[in-house]
Chains A and B, each alone.
Chain A
Amino acid sequence: MPFLQLENVSKSFGSFKALNDISFTAEAGDFVVLLGPSGCGKSTLLRLITGLTEDHEGEIYINGRNVTDLDPKDRRVAMVFQSYALYPHLSVARNISFGMEINHLPRAERDRRVLEAAKALQLEDLLNRLPAQLSGGQRQRVAIGRCLVREPDLFLFDEPLSNLDAKLRHDTRVELKHLHQRLKATTVYVTHDQHEAMTLATKVVLLKGGEIVQIASPTELYARPVNRFAATFIGSPAINLVAGELDSAGRFTGGGLDVQLPGSIFDAPAGARKVELGLRPENAVIVPPEEAQQTIAVDYVEPTGADLYVNGHAGGQEVVVRAGRTANIAAGDRLPLRWQLDQALVFDAESGRRI
């Protein structure tokens, strides 16, 4: 049996269906990221796993136990909250040991676990401080320490990086990744940030409107999204979608492109229909004009340091392509392009499903 298993979990608030028939599993040591735009039900799903939100349909199993009817405290889960939820009037040490005090663990055992967690998280020098005297990253480590000492089956994170500035967010993300590799703790992590999902997850559960869109590893999610939503949600800048026609021989025309698509990119034989061709910005190569499949008119250029993102249009449609930072491109230029079509994704224009 998988370590974490959700079976047909649904949850409604009044007439609003927040989650609809959610099923997924995770093995011990997995880092599962629940990813989706705000309002997709990912936080609700996390609260159902903790037991903080009650009354749902379906079953939840953690480490072989059916926890569906258990109180949060009996589920052997620990959670890091978005605000960290540290107790502001208690020292770091008391924050970490609060749960053990509540549960009447002997003092010696409490002290031992606090020290152990403090050592693992480099909090030893901070044990007597109050949360207000800590930086954002330190607060997060305290929140994680509070989880560690409970020795839970499952770690849960609710958008823990959203309150940090960009630099700290990156550092803390790296720290989380290290920690997970060291502790091998099974983790469920909620975020709307695709970077966090891609970098941390061993398995991504992509949600939209209370339903699962796709369950996949980060690389698979990027390379083989099941539909247009999954393709556009992952990737920054977003994937280019070129509207056009596909004929029965696999030839695509539209947006200034007229190209033969390789058969390998199709999951199933494609008939003639209206489609959208998905082309990632990094799959474009700037070529001499005579080799070009498409020429775009450059509207503006966004330098990001390592790369240039060239925003332009062709055949009445907007296109973004990645170019090297040394490329000499300016607004008003005409840029001849060739696409790596073996990386292309083809979506049915009506249903949005990948063909």
Chain B
Amino acid sequence: MARRRKLTPGKLLVRIIQYGSLVIASIAVLLPLWSTIAGSFKTPVEYINTSHSAPPANWLNFDNYRQVLFPQTGLPIGWAFFNTAMIMGCAVVLLVIFGTMLAFVLNRFRFPGRRLLLGTYAALVAVPSILTPVSTFQVLQFLGLANSRWALVALYSGADIVSILIFIQFIRNISTEIDDSARIEGASYFQIFFRLILPMLAPAIATVVILRCVYIYNDFVLPFLYASRPSESTVSIMLYNFTGITNTISQAVIMAAVIIVILPTLVGFFFLQRFIYAGITSGSVKG
């Protein structure tokens, strides 16, 4: 048997504090999740009468889920998922096209105003977001996009400084000899971009897409301002609508809705966590 290092009382105390604090933090995170899961299986009466942390009487009571997925009145939550997915899909495609092209141009070409352009993107971060909604709304109204999902597509597809910097960082690491070689072989700038640079940017694109999808999925403010009609609403808005206007809906049903909203992100996280970690570090360390 391997000899173990002796544990002094001082070290033991440190261990207890370390693990104790972690256990407390874990409970703080997991308890709400537990009570949500438990609540989603309770009947409305049971939900009011039992403690939040108590397990449901019947783990197979799917009535709440049925109400969320197939409501008698109003739109099913699937509709909100469709809206969110559509907005996400359009916005992310546009973002990748705009962002990568912009990064390509900023990194590979030297032209007057190049630094100014990048600087403007960076400076926009400094503008407090509380200042812009009114004018943004007016612009979108002028474009005839206000009060529709397309307003959200337009707003989400704009490349932000973080995405651009991630793309620029990756493009910078692609040797310009690749471009030169392709030019000698007869490729145009568009061919160089679409056939060589864009495929080589795949890791950066994955990073940006994940970050942006997480943001779009979680965002509440923009959908609330621009797409509050039920037929236009995103997942976050539909969840909000369950709580707000109609008090007739049981809290237990809301719990079921919350679980349904969490599930896709959870599944997504398990499949994509490698990219998410990579994305966050590349954004913070290199970007």
Contact = CB atoms under 8 A, between A and B. Distances in A.
Q: How large is the interface on A (under 10, 10 to 19, 20 to 34, 35 or more residues)?
A: 20 to 34
Interface stretch (B67-75, B143-151, B183-191, B243-251): B183-191
Contacts of A71: 183
A77 interface: yes
Given A98-B195, A102-B186, 17 more contacts: A50-B180, A50-B184, A52-B184, A72-B183, A73-B184, A73-B186, A79-B181, A83-B175, A85-B178, A87-B178, A87-B196, A89-B200, A89-B202, A99-B185, A99-B187, A102-B182, A102-B185
In the A-B complex, list the 6 residue pairs whose CB atoms are closest, starting with the nearest: A99-B185, A73-B186, A85-B177, A85-B181, A81-B177, A72-B184
Contacts of A81: 175, 177, 180-181
A18 B242 CA distance: 71
B199 interface: yes
Nearest to B180: A52
B76 to A, nearest CB: 42
B187 A102 contact: yes
A148 to B, nearest CB: 13
Q: How large is the interface on B (under 10, 10 to 19, 20 to 34, 35 or more residues)?
A: 10 to 19
Contacts of A83: 175, 177
Nearest to A50: B184
A50 to B, nearest CB: 6
A73 B187 CA distance: 8
Contacts of A72: 180, 183-184
Nearest to A99: B185
Interface of B: 175, 177-178, 180-187, 191, 195-196, 199-200, 202
13 contacts: A71-B183, A73-B183, A73-B185, A78-B184, A81-B180, A83-B177, A85-B181, A89-B200, A98-B182, A98-B187, A99-B186, A102-B187, A146-B185
A256 to B, nearest CB: 51
A82 B184 contact: no
Interface of A: 50, 52, 71-73, 77-79, 81-83, 85, 87-89, 98-99, 102-103, 146, 150
Given A72-B184, A81-B180, A88 B191 contact: no
Given A81-B181, A85-B178, A85-B180, A103 B186 contact: yes
A80 B175 CA distance: 14
A87 B191 CA distance: 13
Contacts of A89: 196, 199-200, 202
Nearest to B196: A87
Contacts of A79: 180-181, 184
Contacts of A73: 183-187
Contacts of B180: 50, 52, 72, 79, 81, 85
A78 B191 CA distance: 18
B145 to A, nearest CB: 37
